[in-house]
Structure 1
């Protein structure tokens, strides 16, 4: 059974900046390509950080010269910065990255845990290979019901279980799979259900399977 990996859904052409790229050039690149953040790479193409619009606008709060207390925050713009900073000084480290061979589910988990919308994708040597966004991950779940049904029948029921599954019916509606009919062993119904849940694009699995013989241990959690 094939599971989509990050390299299957990522954008291969990715815009990045070097460690010594200046403030104004970073800002121009963000505006030109309509992105909110850029990977920062070293001379060998390794991802060393991330620089975003927020990083460019972030600065020290000005201090009240008499009390030493922060003055009310002011909206900072590119125009009131000196432009002397480079990506190395502005970027956030370490960069949160994902391997190109990682399952798409791992990329989604990293995005949720770190509250980010995209991740730089790296190869086995840590070099920038692409970028994956939330939209890219969603494409993994946009599969036709026909494709899902075919994968359940071929990869789960025929190739993996190695048994006569002619009495099992598979129906798919909007990504929800219903398995019905009859199987010989109760344990095999569990395997079929678990494997179906792991198929890319499956939203939920409804169990309507019956079985002839219970080959599970008494009290075993199913």
Structure 2
């Protein structure tokens, strides 16, 4: 797993800031990691999502605990439609532990979002705050001009910055 975990560092500053000034360290996983490794990273790092990077640290996907939850969730029924009528109806009675075991060896890119919205260090915080709010994202990867992961900007990063502006800390 050590080869599938990578980090980048960021800083935090107060004042009239850009994303680059408040971005934080980003944990990531490699595109060839399996979902068992990804789940371990999410739990060990105490994060809810990870950017997925290639061998040159370019962002190629984004995986969240929500993606994993959807994969193991129980589904009461599913219908397959052929024309106007349902041709098959079944109940999902597969136990959670079996679903989790089967998920463990699947590649992260099977569940990862491939169209990833990213921020750049030069972007104003207000613009990124608007995007996070509009899209209901909790964080965005921050990339350099070559698409390489250099940090992450979280809602909490922005809130700490706003708090520092309001209370001078």
TM more than 0.5: yes
Q: Is the 8 A contact 1:57 1:76 kept in 2?
A: no
2:91 to 59, 71, 75: 71
Q: CA deviation at 1:70?
A: 4.6
- Is the Cα–Cα contact under 8 Å of residues 22 and 86 in structure 1 kept in the other structure? yes
Which residue of 2 is the match for residue 113 of structure 1?
134
The alignment partner of 1:136 has SS state of helix
Relative to the length of structure 2, the TM-score reads: 0.73
Superposition TM-score, scaled by structure 1 size: 0.57
Relative to structure 1, is the Cα distance of residues 6 and 75 closer, same or farther in structure 2, using a 3 angstrom cutoff? farther
Question: Which residue does 1:10 correspond to in 2?
Answer: 23
Cα shift at 1:131: 0.5
Quick one: which of 127, 143, 149 aligns to 1:122?
143
Return the offset for 1:16.
0.2
Select 1:101's aligned residue among 113, 116, 122.
122
Within a 5 Å distance, the mapping from 1:44-63 to structure 2 comes to: 44-59=56-71, 61=75
Give the equivalent residue in structure 2 for 1:188.
none
2:36–2:103: 8 Å Cα contact kept in structure 1? no
Match of 1:89 in 2: 110
The corresponding residue for 1:177 is none
Structure 1 contact 7–100 (Cα < 8 Å) conserved: yes
Structural mapping, 1:129-144, within 5 Å: 129-143=150-164
Alignment of 1:176-187 (within 5 A): none
Give the superposition deviation at 1:73.
8.1
RMSD after superposition? 2.9
Show CA shifts across 1:143-201 (max 9, x none). Answer: 46696xxxxxxxxxxxxxxxxxxxxxxxxxxxxxxxxxxxxxxxxxxxxxxxxxxxxxx
Unaligned ranges ≥5, structure 1: 148-222
CA distance in structure 2 between the partners assigned to 1:109 and 1:74 by the alignment: 41
Q: Structure 2: which 5+ residue stretches go unaligned?
A: 1-14, 80-86
Report the more deviating stretch, 47-56 or 30-39.
47-56
- The structure where helix makes up a greater share of residues is 2
Query: Which moved further from structure 2: 74-83 or 28-37?
Result: 74-83
Number of equivalences = 145
Task: Check conservation: 1:63, 1:70, Cα contact below 8 A.
Answer: yes
